Structure 1
């Protein structure tokens, strides 16, 4: 039977009106906390957190002016990636702490996942909102990603690979898991567009368009293959 996500107590913080975000700035808020109710309230308003230093300063909240999004029918799978998919086994939620730790590896450039972020998303996972999609080969975790699933929105947080194409295989696996009778109403949010993600079909969506689509996305039934 599907496991329904558990709604946490509501946040004590009041977020600003998304319609009044600075149209030229991805940064839209500073402060608040990382309680489950706060995180869910933020995602439901088109925002996500990211620390900007490792000295325990306030949390920063972003809503990119140009959002990176991947419609499920927009995924680009090259011939070589299609071959690579056959070499891996896709698993869901069997190694979320390991996936987060691999994404947080301090040797990676532009690392941003700290201890507080790790703890916060593990708590959201315990409530049924955060999931990892993992690429395994010969019993070894070679790549993966994790993110927040709310209705028809999968808000990707980070991905990693230890073997060539393993993170791409995890993304292919995610899209496959989201393909159901509501596939046309689902969207993968990648936060920003990078050249790597663009090669896989991720495209920019203006903030206002993203925010306009968000209410309908949130009403879509959660993907059973992620929550069962």
Structure 2
């Protein structure tokens, strides 16, 4: 769990952000700007609480407050963040446990696009992006420990946040997976030996099916299927 520097915590307390309620970020709703504040941090490894295997291209990412992270429902979505110097587009990859609603934690690279990093804390506005250009087809990662009796599946490069992931083996029925707060989609009783068809639905109503996903833990499997 990350901790903010004491000076930033004090600054946030002074602005009453630490006592504010934490409504969920409505990424599925028409884009509305949120006024808030941003700090900066760097991922220690991997892709944060969203479990992505690597950082986004350009190191442009953001961590959200627990309410806005919404138990991983915001993972993989994008925000346009505007500050004194301009606007930057960032990918949601992490949760900021100490942040209250309206406080986002930007990568150092992203923060530098909107403000002077020396400030450490700056007022911003941010809004969710509908159908961001990803440029990659969907990829999948089966979590270590998965088997025919327990399956955990990560979906990568979908653009909009996801609402549903389903799998089926050849000749079987669709099985809906449950999202964990670390962003893997889980079948507690497994889904068989695979290979699987995976049906993915996002917050903007796009639904696609990728075929041939193997039960191969830890391997990144890139499909030819795009969400839109």
Whether TM-score is above 0.5 comes out as no
Answer 1 or 2: which has greater helix percent. Answer: 1
More relative contact order, 1 or 2 (CA 8 Å, 6+ apart): 1
Q: Decide which structure has the larger Cα Rg and report it.
A: 2
| TM-score normalised by length of structure 2 | 0.29
